[in-house]
Amino acid sequence: MKVAVTSSAFAALLRRGALTHLEWLEACASRLDLDGVVFAQDDFPRTDSEYAAQLKKVATDLGIVPVALDVPGLLDPDRPEAERTAAIALAAAAGAALIRVTAGPPGELPPETFARTVAATKAFTSAAKAANVTLTVAPAPDSLLADLAAVQNFAKYVD
Protein backbone atom coordinates (compact mmCIF):
# COMPACT_ATOMS: atom_id res chain seq x y z
CA MET A 1 0.00 0.00 0.00
CA LYS A 2 1.29 3.40 -0.93
CA VAL A 3 -1.34 5.99 -0.02
CA ALA A 4 -4.65 5.86 1.83
CA VAL A 5 -6.94 8.74 2.75
CA THR A 6 -9.48 9.11 5.51
CA SER A 7 -13.06 10.11 4.90
CA SER A 8 -12.66 12.67 7.68
CA ALA A 9 -10.67 14.77 5.19
CA PHE A 10 -13.95 15.05 3.26
CA ALA A 11 -16.23 15.23 6.32
CA ALA A 12 -17.84 18.55 5.46
CA LEU A 13 -18.83 17.35 1.98
CA LEU A 14 -20.06 13.98 3.24
CA ARG A 15 -22.08 15.41 6.12
CA ARG A 16 -23.91 18.01 4.06
CA GLY A 17 -24.66 15.48 1.31
CA ALA A 18 -22.54 17.14 -1.37
CA LEU A 19 -20.66 13.84 -1.69
CA THR A 20 -21.74 10.28 -0.89
CA HIS A 21 -19.41 7.57 0.35
CA LEU A 22 -19.78 5.81 -2.98
CA GLU A 23 -18.83 8.97 -4.89
CA TRP A 24 -15.94 9.49 -2.48
CA LEU A 25 -14.67 5.96 -3.12
CA GLU A 26 -14.90 6.50 -6.88
CA ALA A 27 -12.99 9.78 -6.59
CA CYS A 28 -10.33 8.10 -4.43
CA ALA A 29 -9.83 5.43 -7.07
CA SER A 30 -10.04 7.47 -10.26
CA ARG A 31 -9.16 11.09 -9.57
CA LEU A 32 -6.88 10.71 -6.57
CA ASP A 33 -5.35 7.36 -7.62
CA LEU A 34 -5.24 6.12 -4.02
CA ASP A 35 -4.57 2.60 -2.85
CA GLY A 36 -6.70 2.59 0.28
CA VAL A 37 -9.24 4.37 2.42
CA VAL A 38 -9.96 4.86 6.11
CA PHE A 39 -13.62 5.14 7.00
CA ALA A 40 -14.31 7.62 9.82
CA GLN A 41 -17.35 6.25 11.64
CA ASP A 42 -18.60 9.78 12.29
CA ASP A 43 -18.99 10.25 8.52
CA PHE A 44 -21.29 7.26 7.98
CA PRO A 45 -24.88 8.20 7.15
CA ARG A 46 -25.86 4.79 8.49
CA THR A 47 -23.95 1.89 10.02
CA ASP A 48 -25.99 -1.17 9.17
CA SER A 49 -24.27 -4.23 7.72
CA GLU A 50 -25.92 -3.84 4.31
CA TYR A 51 -24.47 -0.35 3.86
CA ALA A 52 -21.04 -1.49 5.08
CA ALA A 53 -21.11 -4.46 2.69
CA GLN A 54 -22.00 -2.12 -0.17
CA LEU A 55 -18.99 0.08 0.65
CA LYS A 56 -16.76 -2.99 0.80
CA LYS A 57 -17.99 -4.22 -2.59
CA VAL A 58 -17.56 -0.85 -4.28
CA ALA A 59 -14.08 -0.43 -2.80
CA THR A 60 -13.12 -3.92 -3.96
CA ASP A 61 -14.56 -3.32 -7.44
CA LEU A 62 -12.52 -0.10 -7.67
CA GLY A 63 -9.35 -1.79 -6.45
CA ILE A 64 -9.18 0.18 -3.20
CA VAL A 65 -8.33 -1.42 0.14
CA PRO A 66 -10.58 -0.51 3.09
CA VAL A 67 -7.70 -0.10 5.53
CA ALA A 68 -9.39 0.95 8.76
CA LEU A 69 -12.41 2.24 10.61
CA ASP A 70 -11.57 5.34 12.66
CA VAL A 71 -13.55 5.70 15.91
CA PRO A 72 -12.08 8.39 18.19
CA GLY A 73 -12.58 8.00 21.93
CA LEU A 74 -13.69 4.39 21.69
CA LEU A 75 -11.32 3.33 24.48
CA ASP A 76 -13.16 5.55 26.96
CA PRO A 77 -14.35 3.03 29.58
CA ASP A 78 -17.49 5.14 30.12
CA ARG A 79 -18.68 4.45 26.58
CA PRO A 80 -21.11 1.54 26.37
CA GLU A 81 -19.64 -1.84 25.48
CA ALA A 82 -22.24 -2.03 22.70
CA GLU A 83 -20.40 0.77 20.85
CA ARG A 84 -17.19 -1.27 20.77
CA THR A 85 -19.10 -4.36 19.64
CA ALA A 86 -20.81 -2.34 16.90
CA ALA A 87 -17.47 -0.92 15.72
CA ILE A 88 -16.04 -4.42 15.36
CA ALA A 89 -19.06 -5.54 13.34
CA LEU A 90 -18.91 -2.43 11.16
CA ALA A 91 -15.18 -2.80 10.48
CA ALA A 92 -15.60 -6.47 9.58
CA ALA A 93 -18.58 -5.78 7.31
CA ALA A 94 -16.74 -2.94 5.55
CA GLY A 95 -13.68 -5.14 5.06
CA ALA A 96 -11.41 -3.02 7.27
CA ALA A 97 -8.69 -5.01 8.99
CA LEU A 98 -8.01 -2.26 11.53
CA ILE A 99 -9.97 -0.10 13.94
CA ARG A 100 -8.12 3.11 14.77
CA VAL A 101 -9.06 4.24 18.28
CA THR A 102 -8.10 6.84 20.83
CA ALA A 103 -8.64 7.04 24.56
CA GLY A 104 -11.13 9.17 26.39
CA PRO A 105 -10.31 11.98 28.80
CA PRO A 106 -8.05 11.27 31.79
CA GLY A 107 -10.89 11.79 34.26
CA GLU A 108 -10.67 13.17 37.77
CA LEU A 109 -8.45 10.28 38.92
CA PRO A 110 -6.22 9.40 35.95
CA PRO A 111 -4.78 6.21 37.56
CA GLU A 112 -8.31 4.88 38.15
CA THR A 113 -9.35 5.85 34.60
CA PHE A 114 -6.20 4.16 33.29
CA ALA A 115 -7.04 0.90 35.09
CA ARG A 116 -10.63 0.94 33.79
CA THR A 117 -9.39 1.75 30.27
CA VAL A 118 -6.96 -1.17 30.37
CA ALA A 119 -9.73 -3.54 31.47
CA ALA A 120 -12.15 -2.31 28.80
CA THR A 121 -9.46 -2.49 26.13
CA LYS A 122 -8.50 -6.06 27.03
CA ALA A 123 -12.10 -7.16 26.48
CA PHE A 124 -12.31 -5.07 23.30
CA THR A 125 -9.07 -6.56 21.96
CA SER A 126 -10.28 -10.08 22.61
CA ALA A 127 -13.56 -9.47 20.78
CA ALA A 128 -11.77 -7.76 17.88
CA LYS A 129 -9.31 -10.64 17.58
CA ALA A 130 -12.20 -13.10 17.34
CA ALA A 131 -13.51 -11.08 14.38
CA ASN A 132 -10.03 -10.92 12.79
CA VAL A 133 -9.85 -7.16 13.32
CA THR A 134 -6.83 -5.45 14.85
CA LEU A 135 -6.96 -2.38 17.08
CA THR A 136 -4.50 0.41 16.50
CA VAL A 137 -4.26 3.01 19.24
CA ALA A 138 -3.37 6.58 18.34
CA PRO A 139 -2.37 9.34 20.74
CA ALA A 140 -4.84 12.22 21.08
CA PRO A 141 -4.36 15.56 22.81
CA ASP A 142 -6.30 16.02 26.04
CA SER A 143 -6.93 12.29 26.31
CA LEU A 144 -5.62 9.67 28.72
CA LEU A 145 -3.14 8.69 25.98
CA ALA A 146 -1.97 12.11 24.86
CA ASP A 147 1.36 11.12 23.32
CA LEU A 148 3.24 8.19 21.84
CA ALA A 149 5.02 7.37 25.12
CA ALA A 150 1.66 7.05 26.88
CA VAL A 151 0.35 4.78 24.11
CA GLN A 152 3.46 2.58 24.31
CA ASN A 153 3.13 2.30 28.10
CA PHE A 154 -0.58 1.50 27.74
CA ALA A 155 0.19 -1.26 25.23
CA LYS A 156 2.37 -3.02 27.82
CA TYR A 157 -0.59 -3.25 30.20
CA VAL A 158 -3.09 -4.36 27.58
CA ASP A 159 -0.72 -6.82 25.89
User: pLDDT tens digits for 121-143?
Assistant: 999 999 999 999 999 999 999 99
In this predicted model, which residue has the larger pLDDT, 2 or 23? Answer: 23
Phi-psi region of 124 (alpha: psi -120 to 50; beta: other; left: phi over 0): alpha
Per-residue CA distances from 124 to 8, 58, 64, 80, 119 (Å):
24, 28, 27, 11, 9
Beta carbons of 97 and 60 less than 8 angstroms apart: no
Percent of the chain at pLDDT exceeding 90: 89
